[in-house]
Amino acid sequence: MIDQPIQTMLMQAHGQWIILANIVANVMVNNDCYHAFLVLTKIGYSKIPVLDKDQHLCGLLSLSMITERMLDTDHIAPENLRRMKVKDVMQTDFRVVEDPDDLDEVMHLLVDDSFVPVVSDERTFTGIITRRELLKRVNYLAHNFDDCFETTKRPQDSSSQ
Ligand code: AMP
């Protein structure tokens, strides 16, 4: 449970909390890996969502998941990628949130991952929340808490010292 003053300050509008789906780079589940390799290389993001034709979130795809499939025993074989679909190499075991304002959950997930996908109840992809956006707000909180709230230090519990 996050203390209310902290929650209030983190959720004050400073910009978009969610990067909406229409501006999140993605690949389609039935794209071949050669195409996905070009997309990932060009956009410069290390991991992106994988969607189906109805905008459902099916997986996540990183450059390393693809490059691993290019490695033959003694050489690099990019032609392998033409034979593989994104759905054959994508990560399917990952966490999502349905409520982007569930800060407790979002913060826990962003400890391990650089972004968390947001979906609707039918797993339609809504957007992502990034660790960068959270850190911007933590930075704001750290520098402005005193301007918004009065705090007094509790007496130390001597048994815990
Ligand atoms: P950032 O905190 O902005 O570096 O973003 C963290 C991660 O979120 C990136 O490495 C990408 O995996 C993902 N990401 C951020 N913005 C986008 C975007 N517009 N499209 C696709 N993925 C994104």
| Tokens 């410069």 -> residue | 44
Is pTM, for the whole model, over 0.85?
yes
Torsion angle defined by CA atoms of residues 27, 31, 32 and 33, in that order, rounded to the nearest 10 degrees = 10
Specify the pLDDT at position 78.
87
Specify the pLDDT at position 71.
87
118 in contact with ligand 1, CB cutoff 6 A: no
pLDDT for residue 30 is more than 60: yes
Measured between alpha carbons, how far is 5 from 154 in angstroms, rounded to an integer? 16
Which pLDDT tens digit goes with each residue over 43-65? 999 999 999 999 999 999 999 99
Which pLDDT tens digit goes with each residue over 91-114? 999 999 999 999 999 999 999 999
19 in contact with ligand 1, CB cutoff 6 A: yes
R_g of the chain computed on alpha carbons: 20
64 in contact with ligand 1, CB cutoff 6 A: no
The atom number, within ligand 1, closest to the CA of 26 reads 21
